[in-house]
């Protein structure tokens, strides 16, 4: 996914992330709920015009891979929910990257993901910092 500032896509992603966070993966029908949520988000992302949202095709591809993986057989709902959350957080981070934002855009919209989804520094970065 490219780093392209897209506030409208970021708003969609925040709504979808809220829906994912509300999904109870530990309920008796948790796996079915999470699978339905994956299909719901995939259908909504499929309706986004690629010319208006440059990050949408990469998000759609990631969601299609996740949907295929979910359809292959039983998968733990918590793991599926975590993968969906990671894909959405990645797209959100790339859609609101402050470094790529237009100069007139308010930097208040730059998004910082939770630590478990934040980019990890590489060994080269660590060597350069020390």
Domains of the chain, by residue range, sit at: 7-129
pLDDT of residue 129: 66
- Is the pLDDT assigned to residue 41 strictly greater than 50? yes
Residue 107 has pLDDT above 70, yes or no: no
Longest alpha-carbon distance in the chain: 49
110 or 64, greater pLDDT = 64
Task: State the average pLDDT over residues 28-51.
Answer: 88
Quick one: pLDDT band at residue 57, thresholds 50, 70, 90? confident
At residue 91 the predicted structure's pLDDT band, cuts being 50, 70 and 90, is confident
Average pLDDT (79-92) is 89
Is pLDDT above 80 for 14? yes
- What's the pLDDT band for 64 if we cut at 50, 70, 90? very high
């Amino acid at each position: 996914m490219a780093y392209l500032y897209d506030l409208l896509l970021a708003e969609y992603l925040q709504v979808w992330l809220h829906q994912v966070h509300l999904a109870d993966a530990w309920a008796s029908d948790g796996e079915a709920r999470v699978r339905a949520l994956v299909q719901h988000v995939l259908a909504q992302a499929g309706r986004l015009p690629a010319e208006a949202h440059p990050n949408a095709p990469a998000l759609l591809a990631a969601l299609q891979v996740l949907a295929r993986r979910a359809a292959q057989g039983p998968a733990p709902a918590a793991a599926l929910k975590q993968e969906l959350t990671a894909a959405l957080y990645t797209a959100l981070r790339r859609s609101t990257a402050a470094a790529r934002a237009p100069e007139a855009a308010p930097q208040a919209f730059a998004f910082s993901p939770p630590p478990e989804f934040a980019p990890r520094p590489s060994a080269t970065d660590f060597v350069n910092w020390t």
